[in-house]
Amino acid sequence: MNWPRSLKPLSKLCATTKRKGLLPETARTAGNFRVYGPAHLERLRFIRNCRALDMSHGEIHTLLGLADRPSEGCGAINAVFDQHIAHVDERIRELSYLKEQLAALRQRCQTESAVDACGIFAGAWPPWKPALSQSAIPTWVEWQYRKNHLCKTNDLHRIAHRTFTGHWPGELVVPGKPGEKAPETAPIDRSALIRPHSPSEGRADAPVVIVEFFDPACETCRTFYPMVKRLMAEHPGRIRLVMRYAPFHKGSDKVVAVLAAAHRQGKFWPALEALFSNQSDWASNHTAKADLTWKYLDGLGINMEQLAIDLTAPDLKQAIAQDLNDANTLGVAQTPEYFVNGRPLPSFGFEQLRQLVGDELVKTR
């Protein structure tokens, strides 16, 4: 089809939308060319306007489906836009965080100097040139793994901080001469690690205590949970696991409240495992839907009427708020985040957790 010049931008959009299934089938000429009519043009303009708002093809597909059912209510349209606004808010936070890191990096170079003496290069290797520093490569690999395989905004913040600044959130950064090694981490506030309301499993006198800040809607938390339990089983009686709430995902605070209420009935662990097992049903697109979790609590011996009452208890809300405050005090910006006998992981990963636990077990022999 020969498009008029004014419609050239739509011609490129047409090819993409056809592949994505956003355009209905068209008639064809004897020469096998597609024939587009006014209805197609109107649909393309609608799609173009949606793309101008940076909507995904999935969101556009939903809106087009609703447009084909004009007599239905518009609540679903509002839901699509509410979800998209939430995604935009999330990206704004990402960009704001990135701006802070870039500004901090820029502050490292205040005077003109040789490239090899530049404060920016000395403070943090550029992430687009990982070969600049051999010592930087593990961080680069770590960043790529988190970005490509775990892909959670809150999960990336801590590693983004290290990537751009050269240290982890909460670490003590001591100015010194080039080549001087600064302390690895600042002393942490141990009172912020465990609270009386924190669910725990394992002997109270276990020589190694793992404190985990988790979000029930976090896929990585779900993945690591059985791995941590197996690690405990490998060292019976020697590891205690303490769980702290860090509801970073949208809607997770309500799911955490359900777990906290279940904890009051001694059912935290079976409730947690039930929710992790069915996480994909009640959490999607970084959003948790607490109302969908209740059916997975059936059969666990939980008094659901009492659970509903406990959800409104002021001290339950205070306990969750305390966990979030402690997470902030300890520099927790991702989930899962682990502390082993008060020591944070040197870098993220289950093997790093296993190594740190092993080191602490050796100390206690």
The full DSSP string for 242-295 is EEEE---SBTHHHHHHHHHHHHHTT-HHHHHHHHHHTHHHHEETTEE-GGGTGG
| Third-level CATH fold of 190-363 | Glutaredoxin (3.40.30)
What are the residues facing 343 on neighbouring strands? 340
Q: How far apart are CA 306 and CA 316, in angstroms?
A: 13
Tell me yes or no: is domain 5-77 CATH 3.40.50: no
Among 299, 329, 313, 218, CA closest to 264: 313
pLDDT higher at 198 or 136: 198
**pLDDT band, very low/low/confident/very high, at 56 (cuts 50, 70, 90):** confident
Query: Over pLDDT 70: what percentage of the chain?
Result: 72
Tell me which of 189-193, 252-256, 338-342 is least confident: 189-193
**pLDDT band, very low/low/confident/very high, at 172 (cuts 50, 70, 90):** very low
How many degrees, rounded to 5, is the angle at CA 186 between CA 133 and CA 205?
Answer: 115
Among 186, 71, 205, 143, CA closest to 334: 143
Q: Any long-range contacts for 131-138 (C-beta under 8 Å, 24+ apart)?
A: 138/347
* Global pTM value: 0.54
Q: Which residues in the chain are classed under CATH 3.40.30.10?
A: 190-363
Q: Which residues in the chain are classed under CATH 1.10.1660?
A: 5-77
Structure tokens at 174: 């001591």
Position 318 scores a pLDDT of 95
pLDDT tens across 311-321, in order?
A: 999 999 999 99
Structure tokens at 235: 């060292």
- pLDDT of residue 11 exceeding 60: no
Among 356, 360, 340, 338, CA closest to 158: 338
Pairing mode of beta strands 239-245, 200-201: antiparallel
How does the average pLDDT of the chain come out, rounded?
Answer: 77
Position 362 scores a pLDDT of 94
**CA of 107: how far to CAs of 101, 160, 162, 174, in Å?**
10, 17, 16, 16
Amino acid at 307: L
CB 365 within 8 A of CB 208: no
Q: Any long-range contacts for 179-188 (C-beta under 8 Å, 24+ apart)?
A: 184/346, 185/343, 185/344, 188/330, 188/339, 188/342, 188/344
Amino acid at 254: K
**pLDDT band, very low/low/confident/very high, at 212 (cuts 50, 70, 90):** very high
What are the residues facing 338 on neighbouring strands? 212
Range ranked top by mean pLDDT from 124-128, 132-136, 331-335: 331-335
Position 177 scores a pLDDT of 39
**CA of 86: how far to CAs of 53, 90, 92, 250, in Å?**
13, 6, 10, 9
Q: How far apart are CA 51 and CA 58, in angstroms?
A: 11
**pLDDT band, very low/low/confident/very high, at 18 (cuts 50, 70, 90):** low
